[in-house]
């Protein structure tokens, strides 16, 4: 039973956070049984640039309030997204961050070099959102590698399917390695 | 973990997409519109999907023309719809009045964003509640529905089309940006299980047809242009044959019938949802996405032992006076949260007549009201 597991992916318009949010919601809400999802977005009128975020709430029962109340997982793709998102975390909420994009965060932090992994596994840093999804399939209870793969297969253009798989796999492997090395960074506003 | 076997039937969709699918399921075969955030996905889906149904999609030059086009299409026999947001809705008002007066079935979806003017295009609001009621000039009845979930965007679009056909009136589906853009996993109903209502068409020989002749339902049979029945359509007050009149008796008959066809059928038109109301001393009256915040607030307050309930308005207009009056024996406080400066709370206060204390929660900053903001006034 999952009672409101809340995730926020946020960054700059064009980084693929909304698409990642949709794929995450599909993996959790269609490919896993018995889960309700509500996925919302907030973005500005710009096409590129400006704050952009996708929020996904997953629950075993019907979801009333569709936006996050307190986050279980924050995935920031910029420093600003981290700074803004951290205060919204639950006491045991986790930040999944790429040290290349986010220099500083507080609370429970899982550091995964998303950009580097995207570059190495596919040659395209644009795939960081898929690498992040791969890591999330290990670090969250609402999706798993199988449901993520099913969601990615459906979404990915045929030609890009292989790179999607590689990127997701890179994220999964990295997350498995650091799963026991999630550390707590002291900072204001956090209690364990 | 094994994959969900029902995945193919389950769809992750936006409220806007669900509304477009609902339109198709209800038999809408004509859409004319001018895309505007946050409603554009409705136009996008229908532009792509309508041709497969032998339907017509037209991107118009503006919203005035869009409204004119759907009225024309409806008079020619098609179920017609348009979608817009606040700025476009303002432009549609004159022709909405024309559709009321000429009794042309049509559906206008307004996905509300923050106004006035261009406001905040990507942010939610509920600022068009009174505009939906009184935006067009002159006294007129109107039907306005408001969904709170993706599945309900589908269901209420079907219902809007059905009500428009049944009562020969424009129906406004008032969504907000949260509901329009939110994605939820839904299973859409089997098309065969969806009730479809078609307008009543004349069965008499053409020479006997009196286009606006009264009958017990108050809704005259509607002939299509080209069907062989002479049919004059005007926005002027008209007699039963559809021609302009200034005769007081004819004008009064028309006015009364336009209102009667709606007010005689409130039971059919008005829809509310009650949650935990039985012993509620504090009753939240909410609609649209804000009702979901309200539901959360009620669930949490109940867990803390408070006697709180929710009356969710699904039909916004005609205002569900009877449903609200049923809460009065035990309700001491009414809470009306809205993403506007208090448009529906006016109605609540009007019906309340000082019986309970009315507390409002108003936010117009382009963000969904949070449950804690509602709980703060319990």
Predicted ipTM of the assembly: 0.92
Work out the average pLDDT over B254-276.
Answer: 97
Reply yes or no on whether the pLDDT at A181 is more than 90.
Answer: no
Residue-wise pLDDT tens digits, A132-175 = 999 999 999 999 999 999 999 998 889 999 999 999 999 999 99
Note down the domain range covering B157: 11-193
Count Cβ atoms within 10 A of the Cβ of residue B52 and give its class: 0-12 exposed, 13-18 middle, 19 or more buried: exposed
- Is A171 domain-assigned? yes
pLDDT band at A191 (very low <50, low <70, confident <90, very high): very low
Share of chain A above pLDDT 90, in %: 75
Tokens 């996708």 belong to A54
Kindly determine whether residue B370 and residue A69, on different chains, have CB atoms separated by under 8 Å.
yes
Reply yes or no on whether the pLDDT at B12 is more than 80.
Answer: yes
One domain, residues B189 and B310:
no
CA B133 – CA B147 distance, rounded (Å): 17
List the beta bridge partners of residue A110.
Answer: A96
Kindly determine whether residue B368 and residue A22, on different chains, have CB atoms separated by under 8 Å.
no
- Is B72 domain-assigned? yes
Q: Pick the last residue of a domain from B175, B193, B211.
A: B193
Which of A92-106, A140-154, B26-40 has the weakest average pLDDT? A92-106
Reply yes or no on whether the pLDDT at A182 is more than 90.
Answer: no
Residues with Cβ within 8 Å of B171's Cβ and at least 6 positions away in sequence, in order, are B106, B107, B108, B142, B143, B144, B145, B160, B161, B163, B164
Q: What is the pLDDT of residue A48?
A: 66
Which of A167-181, B155-169, B179-193, B265-279 has the weakest average pLDDT? A167-181
Q: What is the pLDDT of residue A77?
A: 95
Assess contact for B26 and B194: CB atoms under 8 A.
Answer: yes
Share of chain B above pLDDT 90, in %: 97
Residues with Cβ within 8 Å of A25's Cβ and at least 6 positions away in sequence, in order, are A37, A39, A56, B12, B183, B185
- Is B262 domain-assigned? no
- Is B242 domain-assigned? no
Q: What is the pLDDT of residue A187?
A: 58
Work out the average pLDDT over B314-326.
Answer: 97
Q: Pick the last residue of a domain from B159, B178, B193.
A: B193
Q: What is the pLDDT of residue A105?
A: 82
Q: What is the pLDDT of residue A192?
A: 43
> Looking at the complex, does the CB of residue A84 fall below 8 Å from at least one CB of chain B?
no
- Is A106 domain-assigned? yes
Q: What is the pLDDT of residue A51?
A: 85
Tally of structural domains, chain A: 1
pLDDT band at A188 (very low <50, low <70, confident <90, very high): very low
Of the candidates A69, A75, A77, the residue with the CA atom closest to the CA atom of residue A38: A69
Q: What is the pLDDT of residue B74?
A: 98
Q: What are the b/e assignments for B228-238, b being 16+ CB within 10 Å?
A: ebebebeeebb
Mean pLDDT of chain A: 90
> Looking at the complex, does the CB of residue B119 fall below 8 Å from at least one CB of chain A?
no
Tally of structural domains, chain B: 2
Note down the domain range covering A174: 5-185
Q: What is the pLDDT of residue A1?
A: 84
One domain, residues B49 and B184:
yes
Work out the average pLDDT over A39-68.
Answer: 88
> Looking at the complex, does the CB of residue A121 fall below 8 Å from at least one CB of chain B?
no
Of the candidates B350, B315, B366, the residue with the CA atom closest to the CA atom of residue B123: B366
What is the residue-wise DSSP string for B128-147?
Answer: THHHHHHSSSSS---EEE--
Chain B environment of A66 (Cβ under 8 Å): 178, 182, 184, 289, 292, 368
List the CATH number of the domain containing B325. Answer: 3.40.50.920
Work out the average pLDDT over B312-324.
Answer: 98
Q: What is the pLDDT of residue A190?
A: 44
Q: For testing the chain A interface, which of B1, B152, B301, B312 should be mutated: the one with the most A CBs within 10 Å? A: B1
- Is A190 domain-assigned? no
Q: Pick the last residue of a domain from B142, B174, B193.
A: B193
- Is B366 domain-assigned? yes
List the CATH number of the domain containing A139. Answer: 3.40.920.10
Share of chain A above pLDDT 70, in %: 92
pLDDT band at B303 (very low <50, low <70, confident <90, very high): very high
Query: C-alpha distances in angstroms, B248 versus A11, A13, B137, B251, B252?
Result: 65, 61, 20, 5, 6
Kindly determine whether residue B296 and residue A38, on different chains, have CB atoms separated by under 8 Å.
no
Cis link prior to B261 (omega < 30° from 0)?
no
């Amino acid at each position: 039973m999952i009672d409101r597991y809340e995730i926020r992916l946020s960054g700059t318009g064009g980084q693929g956070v909304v698409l990642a949010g949709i794929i995450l919601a599909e993996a959790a809400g269609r490919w896993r049984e018995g889960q309700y999802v509500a996925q919302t977005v907030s973005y500005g009128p710009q096409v590129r640039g400006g704050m952009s975020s996708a929020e996904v709430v997953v629950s075993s029962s019907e979801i009333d309030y569709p936006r996050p109340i307190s986050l279980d997982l924050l995935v920031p793709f910029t420093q600003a997204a981290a700074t803004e998102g951290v205060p919204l975390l639950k006491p045991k909420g986790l930040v999944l961050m790429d040290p290349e994009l986010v220099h500083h965060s507080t609370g429970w932090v899982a550091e995964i070099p998303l950009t580097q992994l995207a570059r190495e596994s596919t040659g395209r840093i644009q795939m960081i959102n898929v690498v992040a999804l791969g890591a999330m399939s290990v670090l969250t209870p609402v999706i798993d590698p199988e449901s993520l793969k099913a969601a990615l297969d459906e979404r990915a253009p045929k030609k890009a399917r292989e790179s999607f798989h590689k990127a997701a796999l890179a994220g999964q492997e990295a997350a498995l390695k650091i799963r026991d090395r999630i550390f707590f960074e002291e900072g204001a506003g956090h209690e364990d | 973990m094994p994959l969900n076997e029902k995945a193919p039937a389950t769809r992750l969709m936006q409220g806007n997409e669900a509304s477009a699918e609902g339109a198709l399921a209800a038999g809408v075969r004509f859409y004319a519109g001018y895309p505007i955030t946050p409603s554009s996905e409705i136009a996008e889906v229908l532009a792509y999907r309508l041709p497969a149904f032998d339907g017509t999609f037209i991107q118009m030059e503006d919203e005035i023309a869009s409204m004119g086009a759907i009225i024309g299409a409806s008079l020619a026999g098609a179920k017609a719809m348009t979608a817009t947001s606040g700025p476009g809705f303002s432009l549609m008002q004159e022709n909405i009045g024309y559709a009321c007066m000429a009794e042309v079935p049509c559906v206008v979806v307004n996905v509300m964003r923050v106004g006035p003017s261009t406001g905040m295009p990507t942010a939610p609001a509920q600022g068009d509640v009174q505009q939906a009621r009184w935006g067009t000039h002159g006294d007129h009845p109107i039907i306005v529905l408001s969904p709170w979930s993706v599945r309900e965007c589908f269901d209420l679009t079907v219902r809007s089309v059905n009500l428009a056909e049944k009562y020969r009136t424009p129906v406004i589906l008032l969504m907000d940006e949260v509901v329009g853009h939110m994605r939820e996993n839904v299973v859409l109903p089997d098309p065969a299980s969806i009730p479809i209502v078609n307008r009543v068409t004349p069965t008499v020989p053409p020479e006997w047809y009196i286009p606006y002749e009264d009958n017990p339902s108050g809704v005259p049979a509607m002939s299509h242009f080209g069907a062989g029945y002479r049919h004059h359509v005007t926005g002027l007050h008209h007699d039963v044959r559809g021609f302009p009149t200034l005769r007081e008796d004819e004008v009064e008959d028309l006015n009364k019938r336009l209102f009667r066809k709606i007010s005689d059928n409130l039971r059919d038109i008005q829809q509310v949802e009650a949650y935990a109301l039985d012993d509620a001393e504090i009753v939240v009256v909410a609609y649209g996405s804000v009702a979901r915040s309200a539901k959360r607030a009620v669930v949490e307050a109940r867990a803390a032992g408070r006697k709180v309930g929710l009356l969710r308005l699904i039909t916004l207009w005609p205002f569900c006076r009877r449903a609200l009056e049923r809460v009065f024996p035990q309700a001491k406080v009414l809470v009306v949260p809205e993403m506007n400066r208090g448009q529906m709370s006016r109605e609540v206060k009007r019906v309340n007549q000082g019986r309970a204390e009315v507390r409002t929660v108003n936010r117009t900053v382009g963000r969904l009201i949070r449950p804690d903001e509602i709980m703060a006034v319990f």
